Amino acid sequence: MLLPVLYIWTQPIPGAIVRRHGSQLRRHENRSERYMKLGSLIFDWWHRATFSTYWFTIRKGEFVGEDSLGNRYYREKGRPDKIGPHWNRRKRWVIYVGLAEASSVPPEWNVWLQHTADEIPDASATDHAWEKPHVPNLTGTSGAYRPPGSIQGSGQRAPATGDYEPWRPN
């Protein structure tokens, strides 16, 4: 039960002070930063995964693959793939790299997660020339689409062409 906690507890904290002691480098980290990392594991469900998801993954998860964004995909081990047409199937889940955002799952992995396809997506599969690379939903971020003339967009909206006639009541 303590594996995820010990993993988080032993990981170096980014930005920690590194000091040389003899021939070794030692990281000096505040105890409060470690407690914040542990609290993040327990309560911060929108980043990566919760403690119970990590625990379930350690106990019953079988690593299946990783996508180009670094998300890791798992399925339940020790059960048959399918007993009936729609019931009692193996569970499939993803542990996100950063923010737990469903739109960051590429289409081929989404098909696998939804049990639409049974074969695991191949990382070396070549994309077609007409396909665009997958990008997550950027709404609400600085990368969101803002058309010209919108409040947050840049530039001016094109003037009306004169073919529009507004309705006026009698």
The Cα–Cα gap between 146 and 160 comes to 19
Percent of the chain with pLDDT over 70: 68
pLDDT in tens, 75-93: 998 776 666 666 677 889 9
Residue 166 lies in a domain: no
Domain match, 7 and 33 both: yes
Q: How many domains does the chain have?
A: 2
Residue 156 lies in a domain: no
Q: Which domain holds residue 107?
A: 45-121
Tell me which of 121, 137, 162 is where a domain ends: 121
Domain match, 91 and 40 both: no
Domain match, 40 and 50 both: no
The Cα–Cα gap between 140 and 4 comes to 32
**In the block, which residue shows the tokens 């989404």?**
110
Domain match, 86 and 55 both: yes
pTM of the model: 0.60
Residue 163 lies in a domain: no
pLDDT at 28: 54
Would the pLDDT of 59 be above 80?
yes
**Mean pLDDT, residues 22-39:** 64
